Amino acid sequence: MKAFFTDKLLSWNQLHNTRTMPWKGIRDPYRIWLSEIILQQTRVEQGLPYYERFITAYPTVKDLAAAPDEEVFRHWQGLGYYARCKNMLAAARQIVSEFNGRFPDTFEQIQSLKGIGPYTAAAIASFAFNLPHAVLDGNVFRILARYFGITTPTDSTAGKKQFAALAQELLAPGQSAIYNQAIMDFGAVMCRPQQPACPQCPLAAKCVALQQQTVAQLPVKSKKLVIKKRYFYYIVLEYKGQVFIRKRTGNDIWQNLHEFILMETPAPLDAGKLESEPAFTSLLQQTPYTLDGISAAFKQQLTHQTIYSQFILLTAVKQPAITDYMAVPRARLEQYAFPKTITDFLQNRSLGLF
DNA sequence: AACACGGGGTC
DNA sequence: GACCCAGTGTT
């Protein structure tokens, strides 16, 4: 599984990666360092002009170390996270004073510089010196969380440790620079936060999240209340004046309340295409029906979840073979408890809205 | 372990 | 409006 991952990633990089950036492939630790500081929590497109400006103004680390603070901050203006600028300047002067103007070439020494943490140290160590340190940035967290189906929060201590160890295991021996560059490019181009290119992904065959349909839910971050979105499609199936419902049980919301035939999907569905969904057809197998209508979308906000519901009105042509649900006369529905979403729906329907 | 730190792009 | 971006330093 791990060899597959690394092999596919490297071959994708070789065959399909067309991403170019001024600092890519170079060995000059000063330029690599500068690019990495600028790119912390910053998009490449946003940082690019700043990188060009800094390289032009300060071609070497000695130039930067000798520059007046105000001038350097002026160059940084508009980029944000200004502590980066302050630390960068301090590091430049550290390099001059402690390392005689020569960029340090061990991981520990690199990380001892101000503004350089584990990520930036690994990036410089690998790109400039091909040292075997795997980078762990937002891209790597996302790719590994999805590919291995890891739900450990990436912003927890345990998560950082777990992902760091895994990233290190996956690092291609002797190819640290190329591998680290490849995995970050892959995250930016293929395994994007939104709308990842799963159909074209060379890792798709073994991607746990893709198989489990949890790609959009990964990676998990613990900070802030994560409000999960869920998409319910309720099939209001009627036959001879009776409606199929069941009582909700189990470890989930709305325990002991009733509901119609539920089809939950991991993502919103085009209700018009519902009849071609495998889950829908398998649910209604051998139940001839007529489609009477589809309701508008209902939204309900719970503490930790947002529930989006839509109701599909069907009339069975013959006795349906639906298990786990009971047939209740429409007039008796008022004897059962339903979640607000469903009572809203029933209210609307009684008003003739559907 | 939790929080502050910026501006911009995307959906 | 929420999320995220080639994270790090401070409390």
Residue whose Cα is closest to the C1' of C10? A83
DSSP, res A21: -
Hey, what CATH topology would domain A2-217 get? Endonuclease III; domain 1 (1.10.340)
A284 class by beta-carbon count within 10 Å (0-12 exposed, 13-18 middle, 19+ buried): buried
For chain A, the domains span: 2-217, 228-350
Note the CA–C1' distance, A118 to B10, in angstroms: 28
Note the CA–C1' distance, A50 to B3, in angstroms: 28
Q: What is d(CA A144, CA A2) in angstroms, rounded to the nearest whole number? A: 11
Q: Which nucleotides of C are covered by protein (CB under 7 A)?
A: 3-9
A243 Cβ within 7 A of any nucleic strand C atom: no
Q: What is the CATH number of domain A228-350?
A: 3.90.79.10
Note the CA–C1' distance, A191 to C11, in angstroms: 35
The model's pLDDT over A163-195, given as tens digits with 9 standing for 90+, comes to 999 999 999 999 999 999 999 999 999 999 999
A36 assigned to active site: yes
Pair of tokens at residue A352 = 């003739």
Residue whose Cα is closest to the C1' of B5? A81
A40 Cβ within 7 A of any nucleic strand C atom: yes
A4 Cβ within 7 A of any nucleic strand B atom: no
The strand pair at A305-316 and A298-301 is best described as antiparallel
The model's pLDDT over A281-327, given as tens digits with 9 standing for 90+, comes to 887 877 889 999 988 888 776 665 677 888 999 999 999 988 889 99
Residue whose Cα is closest to the C1' of C3? A193
How far is the CA of A33 from the CAs of A17, A39, A104, A136, A213, in angstroms? 23, 10, 11, 16, 38
Q: What is d(CA A122, CA A188) in angstroms, rounded to the nearest whole number? A: 18
Q: What is d(CA A44, CA A138) in angstroms, rounded to the nearest whole number? A: 13
Q: Please tell me the predicted confidence (pLDDT) of residue A142.
A: 98
DSSP, res A167: H
The model's pLDDT over A32-75, given as tens digits with 9 standing for 90+, comes to 999 999 999 999 999 999 999 999 999 999 999 999 998 998 89
